[in-house]
Amino acid sequence: MQKKLKTLTLALLVAGCTGSQKPAIDEPTLKEVFNDDFTIGTALSADQIEGKDAAADSLVRKQFNVLTAENSMKSMFLQPEWGKFDFALGDKLVEYARQNNMQVIGHTLIWHSQLPSYAQGMTSKDSVQTFFRDHIQTVASRYDQKILGWDVVNEALNEDGTIRSTVFQRLLGDDYVTEAFRLAQQAAPDTELYYNDYNIEQPAKRAGAVRLIRQIREAGVRIDGVGIQGHWHAGKVPLKDIEDSILEYAALGIKVMITELDLEVLPRDFTGAEISQRMKDPADPSLNPYTSGLPDSVQTQLATDYEALFKLFLKHKDKISRVTFWGVNDGQSWLNGWPLPGRTNYPLLFDREYQPKPAYYKVIDAKKN
Ligand code: XIL
């Protein structure tokens, strides 16, 4: 009798255990839970777009309804040689989304990073102007009516809200941002047009973004939304700044999106997401503390932060149109390789085995409570 009881308890424990790790087939997923609130997106790597990652594929189909290419639609990949375009992966993504009844966000037409090297090195206004115009026209027109929106310009601002010095700003002037939107509007009349940046929930940079959006509008050019990237840090999520930003951007009459959400759990000596920035002391071994697993305390912190964020997003669901995570699972996250290569990071809702983490359940619970 006692032995039977023991076996039963063990069986229940095991069932309970797996039950809490894997959502049952019929449990509503992210895109279902938030269906009436905002769309739920993820960024796909080139391998994932090519269907080489079967585990990701099944998770993506279940959990998400809007897709961004993590890299494949950036100018260095779409126009690797001047005047030669490669649409293979972009087209594949669009087709995958069509088959699965999902939307696509184009990321990104004009960005100073991940520019092809021939464009980075341009010194004449004529060349930059030609590249700028042709790239926007060719790419935006190809995907018009096929994708929902474009991040027309990415990361044009400094932390103090002034316009960043880039090859575009230096040779075309500060107005290049408005010009990019003007060209995109002509080439893609049926596509939504967004400005996207990190740290634009921070007051000074936010003021700069508001100025930029107003300038675009005052020039009679269309801008439909703003993307707050959302590369934040567990334990330090700036909820008040995020809420203020949602309110301020929405008051301009445009859509607000969280476009690249992840919560860093590893030590970092700066905030934001400037991809050329590196850690000051990369040799410090304490910078990669969780190679054999995430301690419970950090796991709990991550879950609590995600819950608070989604409660905030739900509070302002009338202003937020989309929340996109920057990657499908922890193993894929760019934060394993930036700002220091070879780290083990845990910033997303799904772990390296594609299983939902405690943060996943907290996000789902945010809707119930
Ligand atoms: C990142 C990708 O995730 C990496 O794979 C790539 O090496 C660098 O770029 N802000 C953006 C994204 O707008 O395009 C960046 O994506 C992350 C920061």
Q: Does the beta carbon of 273 sit less than 6 angstroms from any atom of ligand 1?
A: yes
pLDDT at 80: 98
For the record, the structure tokens of 74 come out as 């950036």
Closest CA to 361 of 22, 62, 55, 16: 22
CA atoms within 13 A on the CB side of 42: 26
pLDDT at 140: 98
pLDDT at 283: 87
- Specify the DSSP element, H or E, that contains 267: none
Collect the ranges in the chain with pLDDT lower than 50: 1-20
Query: How many whole angstroms from 334 Cα to the centroid of ligand 1?
Result: 7
The C-alpha atoms of residue 356 and residue 63 are separated, in whole angstroms, by 11
Q: Does the beta carbon of 194 sit less than 6 angstroms from any atom of ligand 1?
A: no
CA distances in angstroms from 62 to 32, 52, 166, 365, listed in the order given: 9, 17, 40, 18
Closest CA to 77 of 43, 122, 107, 104: 107
Alpha carbon 283 to its chain centroid, in Å, reads 29
Query: How many whole angstroms from 9 Cα to the centroid of ligand 1?
Result: 48
**Do 177 and 212 contact (CB within 8 A), yes or no?**
yes
pLDDT at 23: 53
260 catalytically annotated: yes
Query: How many whole angstroms from 362 Cα to the centroid of ligand 1?
Result: 26
pLDDT at 302: 98
pLDDT at 195: 99
For the record, the structure tokens of 139 come out as 């790419």
DSSP characters for 61-101?
HHH-SEEEESSTTSHHHH-SBTTB---HHHHHHHHHHHHTT
pLDDT at 226: 99
Mutate to test the pocket of ligand 1, among 45, 67, 70, 105 (most ligand atoms within 8 A of CB): 70
pLDDT at 4: 41
Q: Does the beta carbon of 70 sit less than 6 angstroms from any atom of ligand 1?
A: yes
Q: Does the beta carbon of 105 sit less than 6 angstroms from any atom of ligand 1?
A: no
- 3-state helix/strand/coil string of 228-263: ECCEEECCCCCHHHHHHHHHHHHHCCCEEEEEEEEE
Residue ranges per domain, the chain? 36-368
**Do 339 and 277 contact (CB within 8 A), yes or no?**
yes
Active-site entry in 70, 155, 179, 192: 155
pTM: 0.94
DSSP characters for 182-214?
HHHHHH-TTSEEEEEESSTTSHHHHHHHHHHHH
Closest CA to 328 of 110, 130, 135, 63: 63
The C-alpha atoms of residue 48 and residue 50 are separated, in whole angstroms, by 5
pLDDT at 175: 97
50 catalytically annotated: no
Query: Positive or negative CA dihedral for 166, 172, 205, 178?
Result: negative
pLDDT at 22: 57
pLDDT at 324: 99
Entry field: residues in the chain: 369
- Give Cβ neighbours of residue 311 (< 8 Å, ≥ 6 apart): 366
pLDDT at 280: 86
3-class state of residue 356 by DSSP: strand
Q: What is the CA radius of gyration of the chain?
A: 21
Query: How many whole angstroms from 70 Cα to the centroid of ligand 1?
Result: 7
pLDDT at 64: 98
Closest C-alpha residue for ligand 1 atom 12? 70
**Do 257 and 227 contact (CB within 8 A), yes or no?**
yes
Residue matched to tokens 């940046």: 197
Active-site entry in 179, 260, 264, 307: 260
For the record, the structure tokens of 349 come out as 């809702």
**Do 208 and 158 contact (CB within 8 A), yes or no?**
yes
- CATH superfamily ID and name for 36-368: Glycosidases (3.20.20.80)
Q: Does the beta carbon of 334 sit less than 6 angstroms from any atom of ligand 1?
A: yes
Query: How many whole angstroms from 86 Cα to the centroid of ligand 1?
Result: 19
